[in-house]
Amino acid sequence: MTIWKSQGLRMWLLGAAAATAIGTGLVGTQLHHVDITYYRPQGARTIKFWTFRSTVRRILAEAKIPINVHNSVSQSLSQKVSGNITLQVKQAVPIWIRTAHRHFQYWTTDYRVRDILLALGIHLGSLDIVNPGLNAHVASGAKIDVIRRWLSDKTITVSLPFATQYQPDPNLYRGHNEISSPGQSGEAAKTVQVLYRDGQAVSEKSLATKVIKPPRDRVVLYGTQQLIARGGQVVQFSREVAMVSTGYWPDPLWSNGYTATGLKAQYGVVAVDPAVIPLGTRLYIPGYGFAIAADTGSAIVGDRIDLCFDNGWQAIDWGVKDVTVFVLN
């Protein structure tokens, strides 16, 4: 039995391989050991083998590693191989970059977002947002959004509304108001901090307000007096109503002399709209006197009141007047 030493066996195998290479028409006759580290988005892979190929391009083709102009290869593809060779190959993948003003495709051999932006010279501010995150890894066709955000302060002039104060006035009848002071709006300088997102204001926060001109409150006086003193008689009333008054006389030629409630039409009887003043209500009309709401009329609607007189001349003399009608208790 013949026992081959390991070194002799190796030399025999290499000699056989060389003979095979010559027989198959390979360009070179020197056997090379190849060690390739192949980087891809899904991870690195190590490829080791022996070959007679004499250029880097043919070695990569034998290793079935795709070759394109964007890939990164540690040695030139046309490099002649004279001995053992170690290669590093990074596969380039296309991705999309979108910023506020650009949307473009980029081939990269970096697979982490942070490294891609660094290679492109895209620097981030403290408030900028990147999707996906800086430590995320990308695959072919990935999209990276760079959102620019920043803060800016601005000062604006704002109006300060005035308040309304209500003050009692015993010289006014209850239900009657008077504006003592009309009030005036003020002005203030307001400093706000605005958050911008890709050039558009998205929110703001108030920082400070400086009053330039303070507002002046409006003062409204309201009546508290509930008594009417006329001719030595003091009468209490519940409310007052602003009305338009006219005078009438129940001429016997067209009137039977009686009201809608059956009372005789005479001085002190007035016609009203029952929706405003119910029939039977006791009233006081300055310049006319005490009266009772006991009649209606087709033209007496809303805030109108018709005062009965003893003769036509009195009614004509009264004419049309604005009056305050006091509704008595």
Residue 101 lies in a domain: yes
Gap between the Cα atoms of 178 and 245, Å rounded: 23
pLDDT tens sequence across 23-58: 444 444 689 999 999 999 989 999 999 999 999 999
Return the CATH number at 127: 3.10.20.90
Q: Is 1 within the bounds of a domain?
A: no
Q: Yes or no: say if 174 and 239 are a contact pair by the CB < 8 Å rule.
A: yes
Q: At which of 64, 90, 116 does a domain end?
A: 90
Helix, strand, coil in percent for the chain, rounding step 5: 10, 50, 40
Measured CA to CA in angstroms, residue 194 lies from 159, 205, 288 at distances of 20, 7, 67
Identify the domain boundary among 170, 197, 221. Answer: 221
The sheet carrying 164-173 orders its strands as 164-173, 218-225, 177-181
Confidence at residue 234, expressed as pLDDT on a 0 to 100 scale: 60
100 located within any domain: yes
Q: Let me know whether 98 and 189 are in one domain.
A: no
Residue among 235, 223, 231 nearest 326 (CA): 235
Q: Which domain holds residue 249?
A: 226-328
DSSP letter at 140?
T
Q: Are residues 16 and 84 in the same domain?
A: yes
- 138 and 66 co-located in one domain: no
Residue 88: predicted pLDDT: 96
Which residues of the chain, if any, have pLDDT below 70? 1-29, 175, 226-234
Does residue 56 form part of some domain?
A: yes
Specify if 321 maps to a domain: yes
- The answer as to whether 42 is a domain residue is yes
Q: What CATH code is carried by the domain that includes residue 209?
A: 2.20.230.10
pLDDT at 226: 65
d(CA 327, CA 329): 7
CATH code for position 262 = 2.40.40.10
